Amino acid sequence: MAEMTHFFPLSAYKAKVGLDETYRAQLIENVENDFEDKEFDYKADDTAWTGDVRGFEFLHLRDIYEPLFRTISGHVREYYKILNVAGDVFDFYYTRTWATVTQTQQDIPAHRHKQSHITAVYYLNFPEEAGKLIFEPDWDHVQNESIPGLLSGQNVKNGLIQPSMFLSPAASIDIATDDVVIFPSKASHGTAKSNSREKRMSISADIVAVLKESGEREFFLPPLDKWKKFA
Ligand SMILES: [Fe+2]
């Protein structure tokens, strides 16, 4: 029997956060307030409401979110531990954090968080049929695509390839309320269309890693207190 060895994967971390129900309800109310502040006609829009482009991109500066982000920080450290990365070399910063609200028949098209290193998403509310989290491969660098053009949605439809962990145009993760998912910010991701009448709500967090000490290291961002803004 032949043996296959797999390497160079894209990995996403998922864990249950165990947030107190009362606190989670308070956060949902907080998101609802922002959501209602803006007159967003969801019926006219087939993409979800995302707070980052509506003036609500610094949730980490609000006191009410402090316990949530403190908990997420622990999961980010755990994620690095699993990946065997010496996370203690870095200071981690929340740079941009925001809510998303998806209503029925809406989705979030595939995108990347280009300015960030690590992205964490906490699911405040994830009703059934709310639309899975979907990842796409880095299309120009698919290691197993030996014949250029082999990997495409069309080739899945016409039966040339069967999606698997070896070669797939997309992969999804099952999500439930109170899950946190962590992945590299550069990974292309989006959501499937929601078929739920209930709102799907998440909190996204973009995190940047900065060196604690840069003296003997060529790469990575040096400590923030050594930066100097143009006069
Ligand atoms: Fe995203």
Q: Please state, in angstroms and rounded to a whole number, the distance separating the CA atoms of residues 82 and 203.
A: 23
Sign of CA dihedral 72, 183, 113, 40: negative
Distance from residue 109's CA to the centre of ligand 1 (Å)? 9
pLDDT in tens, 194-204: 999 999 999 99
pLDDT of 44? 65
Ligand 1 centroid from CA 112, angstroms: 6
Query: Rounded to the nearest whole angstrom, what is the distance from the C-alpha of residue 149 to the centroid of ligand 1?
Result: 26
**From ligand 1's centre to the CA of 190, what distance in Å?**
6
Residues of the chain scoring pLDDT < 50: none
Q: Which residue has tokens 């622990």?
A: 74
Residue 36 confidence (pLDDT) = 87
Taking the C-alpha atoms of residue 35 and residue 151, their distance in angstroms, rounded to an integer, is 39
pLDDT at 41: 66
What the chain holds in terms of domains, given with CATH numbers, is: 13-128+178-212 (2.60.120.620), 133-173 (no CATH)
Distance 45 CA to ligand 1 centre (A): 18
**Tens digits of per-residue pLDDT, 149-178?**
999 999 999 999 999 999 999 999 999 999
In the block, residue with structure tokens 């065997």? 84
Q: How far is the CA of 88 from the centre of ligand 1 (A)?
A: 26
Q: What does the pLDDT read at residue 5?
A: 94
Q: Are 31 and 125 in contact (CB under 8 A)?
A: no
What pLDDT does 45 receive?
A: 82
Q: How many angstroms separate the alpha carbon of residue 53 from the centre of ligand 1?
A: 12
Q: 211: buried, middle or exposed (CB in 10 Å: 19+, 13-18, 0-12)?
A: middle
CA of 187 to the centre of ligand 1 (A): 9
72 and 55 Cβ atoms separated by less than 8 Å? no
Looking at residue 221, its pLDDT comes to 97
Q: Give the per-residue pLDDT at 193.
A: 94
Q: Which pLDDT score is estimated for 37?
A: 67
